[in-house]
C-alpha cells in the first residue's frame, strides 16, 4: 500500500492541488488540480484569461496562491518563491527571452552559476566554454559562446534560455507560447530541441495558442476555461474540434456568424493599381455591406494593397475611388477623414497606445467629434466607451484600465472598438485575429459581421484560410501581386479549394 | 558578420569608435603643448593628475550603479558632503588619527551608498530622480553644517595632506591610489563571478530575475561601492584643501556620468566599462586644463565641459547609428 503510493508520487513530477487564486474582481483560478507526469511534454491550452499564465506564475513563484498545495518530486513545497523555483529546477522559457544585449552567450548562460576557481571566485572561462559546448552539442545548437546576445535572433535567444536551463540542471521547463514569433522552419527546429530535452529526461510544460502544435508534440494536454480546469487527456484520444469545443464551450458551426448575402451599391473601387513587383494591375469593387476576403500566402501583396488604399504607401499607378469619386489618398489622415480605416496587423506598435486607458484608446481617432469649442466632453467619452465595452464584451475592470493590462484578444477588441466609434465606411482588416484565442475570435467575427450589417464595406486579410472561408461573401485569391481568381457563393466555403489555388494550383 | 571581418580595408568608422577618445587625447595634448609648452611641464602634469585622480575615482564608483542600469547623480554632492563631515569630525577632535579619519569617512560613504540603494531598490524610486534629490539633500546638509563657508582643519591633522601631496616612488599618492583601485575593481568586474552577475543587472530587471539573481542585493552592493569611492575621492579633496568647501566644483556630477557614457563608446561592446571611464575622465581633465593653460578664463570651464560632453556623446551616438 505504502509502496505503491510512493511509486505513484514518483511518477508525477508536479502535483498542484486545489489551487485558488483571486485578483481584485476576478477569480483567476478555482480549485485547480494540475498534475504533470515525469518525462511528459504536457500541453496547456485555453483562451486568453482562462488562467494558464496565472497557474504558471504560481508554479514559478511569481504569484502566491491564495490556497492549495504544490508537490514537486513528491515533496510539498512551502513558501514558494522564484528562487525556490530555481533551486527545484523549474525553468521558464519566455516567448522572447530577456537578456542583456552587450553580454556574450557564455556570460549570460552562466550568470549566477559561474564555475569559479579559488577563494577569490575567479570565473573559469575555459570551463564555461567547455560546458557550453557540451550542452549545445547535446542539443545540436550551433552558437559560439563568445557571440554577443545583441547579434542573436529570437529563436537563437530561446536556445540560449534552454541552454541556461540545462546548465542549471532543470527538471522541468515551461515553454510559454514559444512559437508566437517563429517561422515554420524555426518552429520545427524548436520541436526537435524539445524532443531532445525530453530524451534527456526533462519534463516539459508547453503553452500554446496553436492547437496543431499540441497534437504534434504533446503527450498530454490540459484545457483551462474561465479559471477552471476542464480536462486532461491524451491528444491521440481527442480531435481538434473536440479540443476547441473544450476550450470555448462552443460547437463548431457556431464559430462563424451567418454570412450576409445582398450587396448592391459599390462603395470602393480599385482600378489598375500597380506598385513594383508586389501589386500588379489590381482592380476590384467593394460593395456596401460586403465582406471581401483577400487570400494568399505571406508576401502575395495583400497588405500592400490595403496600405495603398489607406494612403500609407505610395502607388506607382492606378486609382482608388470612394463612392465613385477618385480619392487616391496620399496619407492615412486623409483616408480616415474620408471614412477609410486600416486595422493593422501589428496592433502592438500600430493599433493601440498601450499606456493610455481603454476609453482614451477608443475615442482616439474621433476625438474631434467629442470636443466642443476645443474642450473635451469627458462625460460623452465615458458614455460612448462604456457602451463599446459592453457591446463588444471587452473584458476589463473599467474603462480607466490601461490597455497594456488587457489580454491580447481584448486589446484587439479595443482596436476594433475605436474604429466602430469613428464613422468609418470602409474597413481594411489586416490579420485581425492574429495572436487572439478562439473565443475572442468568435466575438471579433461577430463584430466584423456587425460592421457589414450596418452597410459598411470590409476587406478582410488573413493567412488563416478557414477564417476567410468562414467569413467572406466573396474571395479574391492573390499570388505574387496578382489576383488569380475570384470565388463567389458556395465556392467561398471550400477551404481545400482556396488552399490549392493559394499554393499555385487551379 | 564574417564578411565584415574579412575586409582588409581600413575601417575608419570602426577605428573612430574604438580609439576615438584615445586619439582625441593625444591630438589635444599635442595641440596644447604647441600653444603653451608649459602644458607638459612637471608642475602642470602634477596638477592635472591630482584633479584627474579624484574625479576618476569618483567616476569608477558611479560606474557600478550604472552597470546595474541605475543612475547615480551625486558626484559633487558626495565629495562635498563627505569631506564636510570628515572636516567636522577632525576639527572637533572626534577623530584624531589619520587612519581614524579615513575609516570614519569610508563609513560615511557606505551609509550614503546604502541610503541611495534603499531608495532605488526597496522604495523602487526611479534612480535618476532619487539620486538627484538625495544629492541636493546632501548638499543641503553640508551647506547647513558649514554655514555655506569653507571650513578648514589646518593645525589639527596636517599629516593627512600626504594623501594629496605625498609621493610614492615619485608618483603622486592620489595617482597611486587610483591605480590601486583600478586593479581591484578590474578584478572584481571582469574576473570574478560578482562582476558577471552585476553586468547581468544592466538589462531589464526581468532579465536578471529570469536568471535567478537577487537584483536588490547586487544593486545595493553597487551603490555601496559608489559610496566608498565617493568617500576616497572626498578624502583626497579634504587632504588637498585641508578642509571642505561648498564651492569645490559643480561639474563633477556631470563629468562622472558623462565619462561613463563616453567610456561606453570605447572598447569592447558598448557596455559601461572601467577602462573607458578612466580614459574619458583623463580626456575631460586634459582638455579643461589645456584650455586654462592656453589662456581661457577658468570661469569658462563649465561651458567647455558641457559642450565637450555634448560633442563627444553625439559623435559616438551618430557613429553607432551610421554603422547600423
Distance between CA A155 and CA A179 in Å, rounded? 9
Model pTM score: 0.72
Q: What is the pLDDT of residue B7?
A: 43
Q: What is the pLDDT of residue B1?
A: 35
B263, pLDDT greater than 60? yes
Q: Is the dihedral of CA A101, A103, A107, A113 positive or negative?
A: negative
Residue B16: pLDDT band with limits 50, 70, 90: low
Residue A206 is placed in which grid cell? 508547453
Q: Helices B98-117 & B215-241, crossing angle to 10 degrees? A: 140
Q: Does B184 touch chain A (CB under 8 A)?
A: no
> How many angstroms away from the CA of B238 is the closest CA of chain A?
33
Q: What is the pLDDT of residue B235?
A: 94
Which of A100, A120, A151 to substitute to test the interface with B, most B CBs within 10 Å? A100
Residue B10: pLDDT band with limits 50, 70, 90: low
CB spacing of B196 vs A83 below 8 angstroms: no
Distance between CA A430 and CA A341 in Å, rounded? 11
Tell me how crowded residue B108 is: count the other CB atoms within 10 A of its CB.
23
Q: Does B9 touch chain A (CB under 8 A)?
A: no
Q: Does B213 touch chain A (CB under 8 A)?
A: yes
Distance between CA A37 and CA A58 in Å, rounded? 18
B50, pLDDT greater than 70? yes
Non-local (6+) Cβ contacts of B218 within 8 A are B68, B197, B198, B201, B208
CB spacing of B203 vs A107 below 8 angstroms: no
Q: B268 to chain A: which residues are within 8 Å by CB?
A: 102
Indicate the DSSP class of residue B246: T
CB spacing of B210 vs A83 below 8 angstroms: no
Distance between CA A417 and CA A450 in Å, rounded? 12
User: Which string of DSSP letters, residue by residue, matches B102-128?
Assistant: HHHHHHHHHHHHHHHHIIIIIS---HH
Q: B4 to chain A: which residues are within 8 Å by CB?
A: none
User: Which string of DSSP letters, residue by residue, matches A165-180?
Assistant: HHHTT-SEEEEESTTT
Q: Is the dihedral of CA B259, B262, B268, B271 positive or negative?
A: positive
Domain ranges of chain B: 38-250
Residue B117: pLDDT band with limits 50, 70, 90: very high
Element housing A212 (H / E): helix A211-217
In DSSP terms, A342 is beta-bridged to A428
Measured at the CA of A366, the angle between CA A364 and CA A371, to 5 degrees, comes to 100
Residue B4: pLDDT band with limits 50, 70, 90: very low
User: Which string of DSSP letters, residue by residue, matches B253-310?
Assistant: HHHHHHHHHHHHTSSTTSS--HHHHHHHHHHHHHHHHHHHHTT--GGGHHHHHHHHHH
State how far Cα B165 lies from the chain centre: 20
Q: What is the pLDDT of residues B268-292, one digit of tens each?
A: 577 889 998 998 898 888 888 888 7
Q: B273 to chain A: which residues are within 8 Å by CB?
A: none
Q: What is the pLDDT of residue B72?
A: 92
Q: How do beta strands B151-152 and B243-244 pair?
A: antiparallel
**Strand, coil or helix: A346:** coil
B135, pLDDT greater than 80? yes
CB spacing of A97 vs B211 below 8 angstroms: no
**Strand, coil or helix: B313:** helix
Q: What is the pLDDT of residue A254?
A: 58
Q: Give the A:B interface size as CB pairs under 8 Å.
A: 72
Q: What is the pLDDT of residue A393?
A: 77
Question: Which residue in A has a C-alpha nearest to residue B192's C-alpha?
Answer: A122
Which structural domains are found in chain A, ordered by start? 2-89+171-251 (3.40.50.300), 99-168 (no CATH), 265-339+425-506 (3.40.50.300), 348-422 (no CATH)
State how far Cα B64 lies from the chain centre: 10
Question: Which residue in B has a C-alpha nearest to residue A124's C-alpha?
Answer: B191
Distance between CA B151 and CA A496 in Å, rounded? 89
Residue B323: pLDDT band with limits 50, 70, 90: low
Distance between CA B251 and CA B202 in Å, rounded? 26
What string of pLDDT tens digits covers the 506 residues of chain A?
A: 444 444 444 578 888 988 998 876 667 888 889 999 988 999 998 876 678 888 888 888 888 888 898 998 888 888 888 778 888 889 888 877 888 888 889 988 998 888 888 887 888 888 988 999 888 888 778 888 888 888 888 888 888 988 888 888 889 999 988 887 677 778 888 898 899 889 888 999 999 877 888 888 999 999 988 888 888 888 888 888 888 888 877 665 556 666 666 667 888 999 998 988 888 889 999 988 889 998 887 777 888 899 899 988 888 888 898 888 888 888 888 888 888 988 877 665 567 787 888 888 888 877 777 887 778 888 888 888 888 888 777 878 888 888 877 777 778 788 878 877 777 889 998 888 776 666 677 778 888 888 888 888 999 988 777 788 888 888 898 888 888 888 887 777 777 788 778 777 66
Backbone angles phi, psi at A499, to 5 degrees: -60, -45
Q: A102 to chain B: which residues are within 8 Å by CB?
A: 202, 268-271
Question: Which residue in A has a C-alpha nearest to residue B215's C-alpha?
Answer: A112
| Surface of B (269-288) touching A: CB under 8 A | 269-271
Q: What is the pLDDT of residues B85-112, one digit of tens each?
A: 999 999 888 888 889 999 999 999 999 9
Q: B197 to chain A: which residues are within 8 Å by CB?
A: 111-112, 114
**Strand, coil or helix: A90:** strand
Q: How do beta strands A26-37 and A12-23 pair?
A: antiparallel
Q: Helices B75-91 & B42-67, crossing angle to 10 degrees? A: 110
Q: What is the pLDDT of residues A327-363, one digit of tens each?
A: 888 888 888 888 898 887 766 556 778 788 888 888 8
Q: Which of A111, A120, A150 sits opposite B213 (nearest CB)?
A: A111
Conformational region of residue A494, where left means phi above 0, alpha means psi within -120 to 50, and beta covers everything else: beta
CB spacing of A164 vs B206 below 8 angstroms: no
Residue A162 is placed in which grid cell? 534552454
Q: A108 to chain B: which residues are within 8 Å by CB?
A: 200, 211
Q: B214 to chain A: which residues are within 8 Å by CB?
A: 83
Q: How do beta strands A317-322 and A12-23 pair?
A: unpaired
* Alpha helices in A12-81, H assignment, sequence order: 52-59
Amino acid at each position: 500500500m505504502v509502496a505503491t503510493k510512493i511509486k505513484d508520487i514518483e511518477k508525477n513530477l508536479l502535483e498542484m492541488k486545489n489551487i485558488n487564486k483571486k485578483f481584485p474582481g476576478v477569480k483567476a483560478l478555482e480549485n485547480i488540480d494540475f498534475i504533470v507526469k515525469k518525462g511528459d511534454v504536457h500541453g496547456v491550452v485555453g483562451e486568453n484569461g482562462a488562467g494558464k499564465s496565472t497557474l504558471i506564475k504560481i508554479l514559478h513563484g511569481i504569484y502566491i496562491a491564495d490556497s492549495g498545495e504544490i508537490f514537486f518530486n513528491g515533496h510539498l513545497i512551502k513558501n514558494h518563491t522564484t528562487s525556490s523555483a530555481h533551486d527545484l529546477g523549474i525553468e521558464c522559457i519566455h516567448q522572447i527571452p530577456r537578456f542583456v544585449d552587450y553580454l556574450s552567450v557564455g556570460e549570460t548562460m552562466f550568470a549566477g552559476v559561474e564555475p569559479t576557481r579559488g577563494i577569490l571566485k575567479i570565473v573559469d572561462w575555459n570551463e564555461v566554454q567547455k560546458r557550453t559546448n557540451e550542452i549545445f552539442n547535446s542539443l545540436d545548437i550551433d552558437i559560439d559562446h563568445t557571440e554577443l546576445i545583441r547579434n542573436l535572433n529570437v529563436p537563437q535567444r530561446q536556445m540560449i534560455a534552454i541552454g541556461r536551463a540545462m546548465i542549471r540542471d532543470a527538471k522541468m521547463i515551461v515553454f510559454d507560447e514559444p512559437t508566437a514569433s517563429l517561422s515554420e522552419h524555426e518552429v520545427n527546429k524548436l520541436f526537435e530541441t524539445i524532443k531532445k530535452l525530453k530524451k534527456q529526461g526533462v519534463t516539459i510544460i508547453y503553452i500554446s495558442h496553436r492547437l496543431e502544435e499540441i497534437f504534434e508534440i504533446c503527450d498530454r494536454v490540459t484545457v483551462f476555461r474561465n479559471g477552471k480546469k476542464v480536462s486532461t487527456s491524451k491528444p491521440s484520444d481527442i480531435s481538434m474540434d473536440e479540443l476547441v469545443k473544450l476550450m470555448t464551450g462552443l460547437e463548431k458551426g457556431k464559430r462563424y456568424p451567418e454570412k450576409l448575402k445582398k450587396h448592391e451599391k459599390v462603395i470602393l473601387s480599385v482600378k489598375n493599381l500597380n506598385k513594383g513587383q508586389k501589386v500588379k494591375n489590381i482592380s476590384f469593387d467593394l460593395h456596401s455591406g460586403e465582406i471581401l476576403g483577400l487570400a494568399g500566402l505571406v508576401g502575395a501583396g495583400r497588405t500592400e494593397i490595403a496600405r495603398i488604399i489607406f494612403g500609407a504607401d505610395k502607388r506607382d499607378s492606378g486609382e482608388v475611388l470612394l463612392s465613385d469619386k477618385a480619392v487616391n489618398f496620399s496619407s492615412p489622415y486623409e483616408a480616415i477623414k474620408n471614412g477609410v480605416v486600416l486595422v493593422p496587423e501589428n496592433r502592438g506598435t500600430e493599433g493601440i497606445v498601450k499606456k493610455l486607458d481603454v476609453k482614451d484608446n477608443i475615442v482616439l481617432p474621433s476625438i474631434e467629434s467629442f470636443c466642443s469649442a476645443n474642450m473635451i466632453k469627458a462625460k460623452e467619452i465615458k458614455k460612448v466607451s462604456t457602451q463599446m465595452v459592453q457591446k463588444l464584451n471587452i473584458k476589463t475592470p473599467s474603462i480607466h484600465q490601461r490597455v497594456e493590462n488587457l489580454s491580447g484578444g481584448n486589446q484587439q477588441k479595443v482596436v476594433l472598438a475605436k474604429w466602430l466609434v469613428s464613422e468609418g465606411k470602409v474597413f481594411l482588416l489586416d490579420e485581425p485575429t492574429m495572436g487572439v484565442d478562439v473565443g475572442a475570435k468568435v466575438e471579433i467575427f461577430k463584430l466584423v459581421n456587425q460592421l457589414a450589417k450596418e452597410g459598411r464595406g470590409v476587406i478582410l486579410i488573413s493567412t488563416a484560410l478557414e477564417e476567410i472561408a468562414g467569413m467572406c461573401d466573396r474571395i479574391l485569391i492573390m499570388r505574387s501581386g496578382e489576383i488569380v481568381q475570384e470565388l463567389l457563393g458556395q465556392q467561398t466555403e471550400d477551404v481545400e479549394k482556396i488552399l490549392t489555388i493559394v499554393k499555385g494550383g487551379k | 558578420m564574417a564578411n565584415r571581418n574579412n575586409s582588409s580595408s581600413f575601417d575608419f568608422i570602426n577605428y573612430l569608435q574604438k580609439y576615438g577618445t584615445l586619439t582625441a587625447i593625444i591630438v589635444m595634448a599635442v595641440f596644447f603643448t604647441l600653444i603653451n609648452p608649459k602644458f607638459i611641464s612637471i608642475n602642470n602634469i602634477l596638477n592635472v593628475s591630482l584633479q584627474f585622480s579624484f574625479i576618476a575615482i569618483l567616476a569608477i564608483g558611479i560606474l557600478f550603479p550604472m552597470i546595474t542600469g541605475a543612475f547615480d547623480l551625486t558626484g559633487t554632492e558626495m565629495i562635498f558632503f563627505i569631506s564636510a563631515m570628515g572636516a567636522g569630525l577632525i576639527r572637533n577632535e572626534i577623530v584624531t588619527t589619520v587612519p581614524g579619519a579615513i575609516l570614519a569617512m569610508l563609513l560615511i560613504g557606505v551609509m550614503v551608498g546604502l541610503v541611495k540603494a534603499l531608495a532605488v531598490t526597496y522604495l523602487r524610486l526611479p534612480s535618476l530622480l532619487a539620486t538627484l534629490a538625495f544629492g541636493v539633500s546632501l548638499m543641503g546638509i553640508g551647506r547647513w553644517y558649514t554655514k555655506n563657508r569653507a571650513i578648514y582643519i589646518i593645525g589639527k591633522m596636517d599629516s593627512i595632506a600626504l594623501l594629496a601631496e605625498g609621493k610614492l616612488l615619485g608618483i603622486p599618492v592620489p595617482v597611486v591610489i587610483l591605480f590601486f583601485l583600478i586593479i581591484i575593481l578590474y578584478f572584481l568586474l571582469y574576473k570574478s563571478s560578482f562582476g558577471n552577475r552585476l553586468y547581468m543587472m544592466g538589462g531589464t530587471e526581468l532579465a536578471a530575475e529570469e536568471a535567478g539573481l537577487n537584483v536588490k542585493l547586487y544593486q545595493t552592493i553597487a551603490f555601496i561601492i559608489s559610496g566608498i569611492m565617493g568617500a576616497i575621492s572626498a578624502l583626497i579633496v579634504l587632504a588637498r584643501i585641508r578642509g571642505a568647501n561648498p564651492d569645490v566644483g559643480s561639474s563633477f556630477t556631470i563629468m562622472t556620468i558623462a565619462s561613463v557614457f563616453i567610456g561606453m563608446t570605447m572598447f569592447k561592446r558598448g557596455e559601461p566599462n572601467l577602462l573607458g571611464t578612466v580614459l574619458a575622465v583623463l580626456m575631460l581633465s586634459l582638455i579643461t586644463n589645456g584650455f586654462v593653460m592656453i589662456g581661457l578664463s577658468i570661469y569658462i570651464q563649465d561651458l567647455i565641459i558641457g559642450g565637450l560632453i555634448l560633442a563627444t556623446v553625439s559623435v559616438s551616438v551618430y557613429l553607432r547609428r551610421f554603422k547600423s
